[in-house]
Amino acid sequence: MALTTARTMPGVLELLPLDQIAFQGMLDTVRSNFERFGFLPIETPVMEFADVLLTKSGGETERQVYFVQSTGALEQGDKPELALRFDLTVPLARYVAEHEHSLNFPFRRYQIQRVYRGERAQRGRFREFYQCDVDVIGKDSLSVRYDAEIPATIYGVFRDLAIGPFTIQLNNRRLMRGWFEGLGIADGDRQMAVLREVDKLDKRGLDHVRETLTGAAFGLSTEAVDRILAFVQVRSTSLADALEKLDALGSGSETFEQGRNELRDVLGLIKAFGVPESHFALNLSIARGLDYYTGTVYETTLNDHPQIGSICSGGRYENLAGNYTKSSLPGVGISIGATRLYWQLREAGLIGTATSTVQALVTQMDEAQLPVYLALATELRQAGINTEAVMESSKLGKQFKYADKAGIRFVLVLGDNEIANGTVTVKDLRRENQFEVARTDLARTLRAELEQGAGTGVRA
């Protein structure tokens, strides 16, 4: 019989158990921080009705959507009725509109699930990936103060992930649009186009952006472009510096002043939330490509690994669910692309080898003593230690090799001597030492050892 090649589609990340443990450790850190800040969990279906998912989308989104069709509909040649979600924000909008009358506002939710995009595979880009989202949705209005709570949450996440120094960079869409208005770029679509272009500043460089803006596609004057470039190059080094640089921009349109006031409030509150000044900064080139953002926008980068780019981004939007309800539902939120983040951290060598979730292996010296081994394993499990017992007899060396490869830290040997003495021999494969303890003290001893070296599993 011809064999089928075992393979997965490009753009998916499938991990071996030890890597999966590291990845899940990362998600646990994200989740616990989201919960610590008082966000509530929800999950939504992977599939949604296509018309619900694609309401506001232009051609770009639709191009990246996977449609889903039942066999029956496929045979009849119908248009697909269902599609896979491509982010968690659109399903959130649908969720809030659908359950509006049962929800408590401001609605603070977090959601950690996979999303799907039909992209051509590329380094660090996935077709199936995890997003970790937090959003706050208000009914009719939502204070700009929430715009500061989001970065505070994000600070907690990346601090606990311990992946090195990072900076949460902030900007405000109103401030940008107001600045462009002052230069005579009044049309909304045109403002968006300029905005998307300056967003590339950090990636493409000053000259490239200048060339594009003065070029035929935009046709802006050299003076206007110089003013834009001066604006988007603003970066801050501390809170006082940020406020000073905002003042130094001079006065502007009503939109501009509104944006500036929002930014001032947000920056001040981020500090009040306890985020160190070294970890947040003004970056007036941050724009975000998505057009639904209206005010504050965020991007987070690792200081020592700028090539990785943004590892977490989001912002403020008015009218989240305008396509589904007449209610006004403003919100602010952010998303961590966990799959890409994990993949890039691994590429950069920032993730060490995880230890197994299995903490102890009970070896088998003598098949006849199997009940003794199983009783020992049960004892340890009852003491909260994840334990595996060797079920098939083999050479002890082979059993050690198995434990080593599996990343199991403690190997327990129970032979005639130990049984006679009421002891257990423990080999700690991580510390590379061996000791013998009374069986009655075993669980306590292992617990103490394990707690000593407790970590997130993501540390290098």
The distance of closest approach from Cβ of residue 295 to RNA in the complex, given in angstroms and rounded to an integer, is 16
344's CB contacts (< 8 A; 6+ apart) are 124, 305, 308, 311
114 is a contact residue toward RNA (CB under 7 A): no
The distance of closest approach from Cβ of residue 458 to RNA in the complex, given in angstroms and rounded to an integer, is 17
The interface region with RNA, picked from 159-167, 335-343, 349-357, 367-375 by CB under 7 A, is 335-343
Is the CB of 327 or the CB of 356 nearer to RNA?
Answer: 356
45-84: which residues touch RNA (CB under 7 A)? Answer: 60, 63-64
131 is a contact residue toward RNA (CB under 7 A): yes
User: What's the N-to-C CA distance of the chain in angstroms?
Assistant: 46
The distance of closest approach from Cβ of residue 368 to RNA in the complex, given in angstroms and rounded to an integer, is 13
353 is a contact residue toward RNA (CB under 7 A): no
211 is a contact residue toward RNA (CB under 7 A): no
The distance of closest approach from Cβ of residue 253 to RNA in the complex, given in angstroms and rounded to an integer, is 25
Q: Which of 340, 350, 359, 390 binds RNA (CB under 7 A)?
A: 340
Residue pair 311/343 in contact by the 8 Å Cβ criterion: no
284-313: which residues touch RNA (CB under 7 A)? Answer: 288-290, 309-313
16 is a contact residue toward RNA (CB under 7 A): no
Number of residues interacting with RNA: please give it, by CB under 7 A: 56
295's CB contacts (< 8 A; 6+ apart) are 144, 147, 172, 173, 174, 259, 262, 315, 316, 318, 332
> Which amino acid, 97?
A
Q: Which of 36, 99, 190, 398 binds RNA (CB under 7 A)?
A: 398
Residue pointed to by tokens 């197994």: 356
User: And the tokens for 386?
Assistant: 């994840």
Is 228 in a helix, a strand, or coil? helix
Is 69 in a helix, a strand, or coil? coil
348 is a contact residue toward RNA (CB under 7 A): no
Is the CB of 252 or the CB of 322 nearer to RNA?
Answer: 322
CB atoms within 10 A of CB 189: 8
Q: What does the buried/exposed string (b/e) look like for 120-135 if buried means 16 or more CB atoms within 10 Å of the residue's CB?
A: eeeeebbbbbbbbbbb
Q: Which of 79, 101, 120, 326 binds RNA (CB under 7 A)?
A: 120
Reported in sequence order, the residue ranges of 81-149 that DSSP labels E, i.e. its strands, are 82-84, 107-116, 128-137
Is the CB of 209 or the CB of 329 nearer to RNA?
Answer: 209
The interface region with RNA, picked from 23-31, 146-154, 218-226, 417-425 by CB under 7 A, is 417-425
Is the CB of 38 or the CB of 289 nearer to RNA?
Answer: 289
Residue pointed to by tokens 């505070």: 152
**Rounded-to-integer distance, Cα 54 and Cα 66, Å:** 11
Reported in sequence order, the residue ranges of 305-352 that DSSP labels E, i.e. its strands, are 312-317, 331-337
136-165: which residues touch RNA (CB under 7 A)? Answer: none
Is the CB of 117 or the CB of 260 nearer to RNA?
Answer: 117
Residue pair 154/300 in contact by the 8 Å Cβ criterion: yes
401 is a contact residue toward RNA (CB under 7 A): yes
**Rounded-to-integer distance, Cα 204 and Cα 37, Å:** 36
The interface region with RNA, picked from 167-175, 233-241, 317-325, 425-433 by CB under 7 A, is 425-433
Where on the chain is the footprint of RNA (CB under 7 A)? 2, 9-10, 60, 63-64, 87, 117, 119-127, 129, 131, 196, 200, 203, 288-290, 309-313, 335-337, 339-341, 365, 395-398, 400-401, 404-405, 411, 413, 415-418, 425, 427, 429, 432, 434
